[in-house]
Chains A and B, each alone.
Chain A
Amino acid sequence: SQQGEEDPQALSIQEGENATMNCSYKTSINNLQWYRQNSGRGLVHLILIRSNEREKHSGRLRVTLDTSKKSSSLLITASRAADTASYFCATDRVGGGGNKLTFGTGTQLKVEL
Chain B
Amino acid sequence: NAGVTQTPKFQVLKTGQSMTLQCAQDMNHNSMYWYRQDPGMGLRLIYYSASEGTTDKGEVPNGYNVSRLNKREFSLRLESAAPSQTSVYFCASSDGIHSRGYTFGSGTRLTVV
Question: In the assembled complex, which residues on chain A have CB atoms less than 8 Å from the CB atom of B90?
Answer: 42-43
| Residues of A contacting B94 in the complex (Cβ-Cβ under 8 angstroms) | 99
How would residues 43 to 70 of chain B score, 1 for a CB under 8 Å from any chain A CB and 0 otherwise? 1110010100000101100000000000
Residue interface bits B93-113, CB-to-A below 8 A is 1, else 0: 010101111111111000000
Total chain B interface residues with beta-carbon distance under 8 A: 29
A101→B40 CA distance, assembly (Å): 18
Structural contact, A100 and B104, CB atoms closer than 8 A: no
In-complex Cβ contact of A105 among B40, B100, B101, B105 (8 A): B40
Is A48 touching B101 in the complex (CB atoms < 8 A)? yes
A33 in contact (CB, < 8 A): yes
| CB-CB nearest in chain B for A4 | B42
Q: Is the CB of A30 within 8 A of B98?
A: yes
- A30 surroundings in chain B (CB, below 8 A): 98
Which interface class (under 10, 10 to 19, 20 to 34, 35 or more) fits A?
A: 20 to 34
CA distance A58 to B76 in the complex (A): 35
B98 lies within 8 A of A48 (CB): yes
A48 to chain B: which residues have CB within 8 Å? 98-99, 101
Roughly how many angstroms separate A88 CA and B103 CA in the complex, as a whole number? 14
Q: Residue B2 at the A interface, CB < 8 A?
A: no
Q: A interface vs B, CB < 8 Å?
A: 1-2, 4, 30-31, 33, 35, 40-45, 48, 50, 88, 92, 97-106
Chain B contact residues, CB within 8 Å of chain A: 4, 31, 33, 35, 40-45, 48, 50, 56, 58-59, 90, 92, 94, 96, 98-107
